[in-house]
Amino acid sequence: MINCFNLSKWYDNLLVLDNISVKIKKGEFLVILGPSGCGKTTLLQSIIGFIKPNSGKVLINGEELKRPDRRFGYVFQDYALFKWKTVLGNVMSGISKVRNKKEIALKIIDKVGLLKFTDKYPHQLSGGMKQRVGLARALAYNPEILLMDEPFGALDAQTRKLMQQELLRILKEFNKTVVFVTHSVVEAVYLADRVIVLSKIPAKILLDEKIKISGHRDYLNKEFLFHREKILKVLDTQTGINE
Amino acid sequence: MGHEKKNMNKVRFILLLIFICMIFSYSMIFGVFKSDIVVHILRSLLRMLSGYVLALILGVFTAIILNLSKYLSYAFKPLISFLISIPTITWVPLLLIITGISEKTIILTIFLGSYFAILYNTLEGFENIDQNLLKAGKTVGYDNFELFIKVSLPASFNNILVGMKLGIAYSWRALVGAEMLGATSCGLGYLIFASRKFYDMEKMLITLLIIGFLGYLFNIIIIKFIENNTIAKWGYRE
């Protein structure tokens, strides 16, 4: 479905992405993991076309992308909600030309559990609620691919855990391809079907790991711990400040 | 807190009311004004309105044009900033020569008073838009026009309003100044200046108070109203 082909990106003389190739299958939940500042966001933004890579290309269903389009939903770390719109207005912004937009929007708002806050403005919501709106806005126009850029990075630990569970619950009802960026190993193993670990810049793929956990994903599950250890070991080689 | 604020607002309002009543009862009793004061007030307000609305429309429009290229706005900003620093009233003698003693001169003065302030601040607003908001706009499928109307304008409204606020203050001062400098034989500024010849200090003082009061009303009625229905509601200042 998404095919990244020898992507390289540099800013001035700083090489950020070094010849990265990833194939992402339809319906897959892929987590991109890596030390902070390693180019995870750059990779994600190259997929949607916010950033043009200096070499290589991204193919979506075999076609090259011209500009960001509505096959993508994007969830931002800082929410990037339209502050001048209510929750309903935000969720409807992607479907303004659809006839029963209000109906669709309310359904999604209900799914993310914000039905009581439909007419509130973003500044009246907590961080977790804002990100629910961000997710609802991205899901409202029913994109095939959901890109999430450290969506829970700004939340406190408890809210974060809750939001992870909620994300899986909500996504169960939509069959989406998800690319999720984070630097939390636990979050990655908890959410992913597959994890790729990037090195510090220039970013290369260090590990491409399928996460197989039978039964419930519990932080103390044996297989969970196994995956976590394995990824941590790889990441440990990447600590230290990059020169 | 909410309750206290409500009471405070009542007190503020009553104080203002007493003050206004004092002005007007005084001017009634001593017959300072004939009914022609209304004509003077309306004339000044009309001039203010035409000059200001023109400046608002053209100011925002120019900002849009300059914002098309970041080099353009980068190049022009110091110039605009320089033009803001010129006290508007200093244009009047020049304009009097160019456009003559006419309404045009006064309206042009008002225009110059707010145009640069509105332009500068709107430009500043456009430049400081959170890039992620524009990206979010693109992902939900906005085209360039929609991005401007539905994202850029509301996202920079805080700055636009600052420009509008400054503009109103500058323009009002400029208007009175232009009327005083002899561009007309009507209006509040003229009234003060004409009273000087007759040593009519009461009339001068009261006209002065009316000018202040009207300027205050602009702020309360227009700016506060817009503010409460936009950026205050959207939580831009927390």
| pLDDT tens digits along A208-217 | 989 888 777 7
CB atoms within 10 A of CB A83: 20
Name the DSSP class of A203: B
**Could B154 and A84 be called an inter-chain contact, meaning their C-beta atoms sit closer than 8 Å?**
yes
Of the listed ranges A84-88, A183-187, A234-238, B96-100, the one predicted with least confidence: A234-238
| Predicted interface score ipTM higher than 0.95 | no
Residue B25 pLDDT? 73
Structural domains present in chain A: 1-71+145-151+178-238 (3.40.50.300)
Query: What angle (nearest 5°) sits at the alpha carbon of residue A198, between those of residues A23 and A223?
Result: 80
pLDDT value at residue A22 = 92
Query: What are the pLDDT digits (tens) for B98-145?
Result: 988 888 999 999 999 999 999 999 999 999 999 999 999 999 999 999
Size of interface A-B (CB pairs under 8 A): 61
Cβ A101 vs Cβ A92: under 8 Å: yes
B1 has a pLDDT exceeding 70:
no
Instruction: Give pLDDT, residue B2.
Output: 65
A1-15, B23-37, B143-157: which range is least confident on average? B23-37
Q: Using alpha carbons, list the distances in angstroms from residue B91 to B45, B57, B81, B107.
A: 20, 21, 16, 12
> Taking CB atoms and an 8 Å limit, are A124 and B235 in contact across chains?
yes
Smallest Cα distance from A12 to chain B, Å:
20
Picking from A50, A94, A123, the nearest residue to B234 by CB comes out as A123
Residue-wise pLDDT tens digits, A147-182: 999 999 888 989 999 999 999 988 888 889 999 999
Min Cα distance B58 → chain A (Å) is: 24
User: For the whole prediction, is pTM greater than 0.80?
Assistant: yes
Q: Is pLDDT at B205 greater than 70 in this prediction?
A: yes
Residue pointed to by tokens 């429009």 = B61
For B61, the 3-state DSSP assignment is helix
pLDDT tens digits, one per residue of A32-53: 998 888 889 999 999 998 989 9
> CA torsion sign, A165 to A168 to A170 to A173?
negative
* Mean pLDDT calculated for residue range B52-71: 93
Per-residue confidence (pLDDT) for residue A221, from 0 to 100: 83
**Partner-chain contact B139 A83, CB within 8 Å:** no
